[in-house]
Chain A
Amino acid sequence: MAGVGSGGNDIQWCFSQVKGAIDDDVAEDFLYGKVVYQKITNMEVKILDFGSHGLLQGFKWISKLMYWMNKLWLLVPWKVPVLLVLLVKGEMIEKPNKQNKSQPHCRGEYNVYSTFQSHEPEFDYLKSLEIEEKINKIRWLPQQNAAQFLLSTNDKTIKLWKISERDKRPEGYNLKEEDGRYRDPATVTTLKVPVFKPMDLMVEASPRRIFANAHTYHINSISVNSDYETYLSADDLRINLWHLEITDRSFNIVDIKPANMEELTEVITAAEFHPNQCNTFVYSSSKGTIRLCDMRAAALCDKHAKLFEEPEDPSNRSFFSEIISSISDVKFNHSGRYMMTRDYLSVKIWDLNMESRPVETYQVHEYLRSKLCSLYENDCIFDKFECCWNGCDSVVMTGSYNNFFRMFDRNTKRDITLEASRENSKPRAILKPRRVCSGGKRKKDEISVDSLDFNKKILHTAWHPKENIIAVATTNNLYIFQDKVN
């Protein structure tokens, strides 16, 4: 299956597609909150031929990205001044090879499927606070009928969206013209039964449920339970359990708010349900601990069933130790036996049966340890990187700076650094491994730490659940890479 490195049976990653604005400039005014509300009306999708770029105009700021289990779907919320959720659907394409023999390739080309605005900016009058429309998390629901359902959340409100296709419309009304004008009943001489006629595919997104007013602090996670009936939402201090059908009530299952806020030492940073056990969930904290809770034990799961914590290495102590130990993402593997956590400098894999330390630790960009001060100055130290598993849980992937992303093969213990950049984006171009030199003599093809661009960061990556197709989100672009097919 998937491996890293080059040569032999290992995977060679090839460029497939890139979506997003060519202009890589970061929208400074957006960063600092001076939002310009622009309606994005003109979306041009230029699909050239197979394997070429598909270019979308007008999108900025990929803020979330994930694959869904059984579908070749990508869901990409783009944090634009007017926030959109973009669905990109992939299809299997058959293409004849040079010998003109038709051979199915496991290549998907992803095209824009639907775009809609999920949340609007709101204003909390009681606290005089603006609530950003930026989407923090999206989770798919398992498909039960022809429509797709997903949950999306901003800082305060979770919404359940239904995305459905419409490719037929009724025609032949008796009292209405085709353009919608009403007919004078006196002119109707015959009657006919309206029939469904095919039409251009139209994808509609409609909000089905709105789960609001349950979180005082900023929501950072949502996770759908394996029972497919409930889901949890987590903010800095509390975790609530919802039923998908019920919007006016939620149960608080974790509350770490101290009686005296002065005594606050940690906040919740991420939470996820176990993929198979509907009673189990984990939540990570800003202190680098993960707590596993069993909802059968008590109604309020403040008391954890397991506490996963690795003792700090005292020789690495610095001003910023607390910041870099804060966990930014936690993900169960597909079987639920292991979970992966991402803190600022490393990825750790924990065995649920062992709480004392992780079973594997991978350094993502250890060369940054001596740069923490300037990373604190430019706020990069607060970046929340995500991580993901591949389909068979043998490789883990996470992002870094300079548009680099890293993969770690758990079996061969090899790792690779790749770059998502326009310069390297020729169709089917093989990605070359990159190397960062942290000091001393810089070898050829290496990049020195000081020339890394910290504005170019990859926070979100996603791996197709079945194929070796990955999606990598840079600031303004979405890159899709696939393994080289011979």
Chain B
Amino acid sequence: MDCAVNAQSLISLSLRKIQTSRSQRGGIKLHKNLLVSYVLRNARQVYMSEKYAEIYGAQRVAEGLAEEEVCGALEPQLGKAAPAAPLYPGSSSYEPPAAAGAHCSQTTVLDLDTQTVTTVEDGFGQDCACCGAGGRKRKAEPGPGGSEAEESSPGKRLRLEEQHWGSPGHWGSPGHWGSPGHWGSSGHWGSPGQSAQGWDCTDSANISNLISMLGSGWGSRADSEQLLPAEVKANGQWCSKQAVGSLGAWTRAIVAF
């Protein structure tokens, strides 16, 4: 490769492209953003597998590791080790983490054709306490030309992104890689010393970090380096699933325009 194909730099570059496309004349181009999201997904898979391989070396992990263990182990690692040589997808034994138990998710979809917003319960587990409160409202960010037209949900754009996290990656399986739709059978990830908990959907610190970075005009590298740690941090809980797989958030964010 002619440039440093660093998965992390690709991630930040892709996010920057998505952000720029929002202010482009003519509206968001679905095709281009779809392709960018594929690169984003590929890069994130490699990044995750790099992290994974760092911790466990080249060995395949046996089952039985609690999700919490890994999470806690990962967190201190993030700051230190340089990422391993980029592993091309397909070459690693990376397996995406499984759902940590019953886990509900709410997805909000804006249908461009009918201009209606529908909120769909994903039905993974209806009684996840975290989502009992329903959607979070956020102050609307001024979009290109003003997205205040939709009065019913002023924060819709941001809510789409943040509420999506729980969805089980229906994001197609375009490649021969570990498809994001097929999460491992049992929890390979975890953090030590913490009891298995359902992921807290309304983990505001984590999500709002991400969203505010996106919303406020993405530009600096410093921001991008914050991205993944922000996702991982927050009470030591590993929000791996949404971090890695579900690019539907990006799609929806794109579609919303």
Contact = CB atoms under 8 A, between A and B. Distances in A.
| Interaction A to B | yes
Interface of A: 32-33, 35, 124-132, 134, 155, 216-218, 220, 236-237, 257, 260-267, 269, 286-287, 312, 314, 317-323, 326, 370-374, 376-377, 379, 382
Interface of A is mostly: loop
A377 B9 CA distance: 10
Contacts of B184: none
B149 A128 contact: yes
Contact of A260 (B5, B13, B170): B170
Interface stretch (B37-45, B65-73, B231-239): B37-45
A266 B172 CA distance: 9
B227 interface: no
B2 A373 contact: yes
Given A126-B115, A323-B35, A263 B171 contact: yes
Chain B interface residue number, banded? 35 or more
Contacts of B46: 319
Nearest to B17: A379
B30 interface: yes
Contacts, number: 142
Contact of A129 (B3, B27, B172): B27
Contacts of B8: none
B25 A236 contact: no
Contacts of A263: 170-172, 248
B182 interface: no
Contacts of B111: 261
A413 B2 CA distance: 31
Interface in B150-200: 164, 167, 170-172, 174-176
A376 B13 contact: yes
B255 A261 contact: yes
Contacts of A124: 27
Interface in B3-58: 3, 5, 7, 10, 13, 17, 23-27, 29-32, 34-35, 38-39, 42-43, 46
Contacts of A373: 1-3, 5, 10
B251 A323 contact: no
Contact of B257 (A127, A257, A287): A127
Contact of A261 (B26, B38, B39, B252): B252
B147 A128 contact: yes
Contacts of A267: 30-31, 34
Interface of B: 1-3, 5, 7, 10, 13, 17, 23-27, 29-32, 34-35, 38-39, 42-43, 46, 88-90, 107, 109, 111-113, 115, 120, 143-147, 149, 164, 167, 170-172, 174-176, 246, 248, 251-252, 255, 257
A131 B26 contact: yes
Contact of B145 (A129, A155, A321, A379): A129
Contact of B32 (A287, A374, A382): A382
A155 B248 CA distance: 25
Nearest to B109: A261
Contacts of B251: 261-262, 264
A320 B10 CA distance: 11
Contacts of A264: 34, 172, 251, 255
Contacts of B149: 125-128
A131 B109 CA distance: 23
Contacts of B88: 317-318
A134 B257 CA distance: 19
Contacts of B7: 319
B2 A236 contact: no
B13 A314 contact: no
Contact of B30 (A132, A218, A317, A370): A218
A322 B14 CA distance: 14
8 contacts: A126-B149, A130-B26, A262-B248, A314-B90, A318-B88, A319-B46, A322-B42, A326-B35
A321 B176 CA distance: 11
Contacts of B29: 218
A380 to B, nearest CB: 12
B13 A377 contact: yes
Enumerate the 10 nearest inter-chain pairs by beta-carbon distance, A residue then B residue, closest first: A262-B248, A265-B172, A33-B25, A128-B145, A322-B38, A129-B27, A132-B26, A373-B3, A236-B30, A263-B170
B203 to A, nearest CB: 20
Given A323-B39, A373-B2, A314 B107 contact: no
B27 A130 contact: yes
A86 to B, nearest CB: 22
B9 to A, nearest CB: 9
A129 B26 CA distance: 6
A195 to B, nearest CB: 50
Given A261-B109, A262-B164, A321 B175 contact: yes
A317 B90 contact: yes
Contacts of B32: 382
B34 to A, nearest CB: 6
A262 B41 CA distance: 14
Nearest to A134: B26
Contacts of A323: 35, 38-39
A328 to B, nearest CB: 10
Contacts of A376: 10, 13, 39
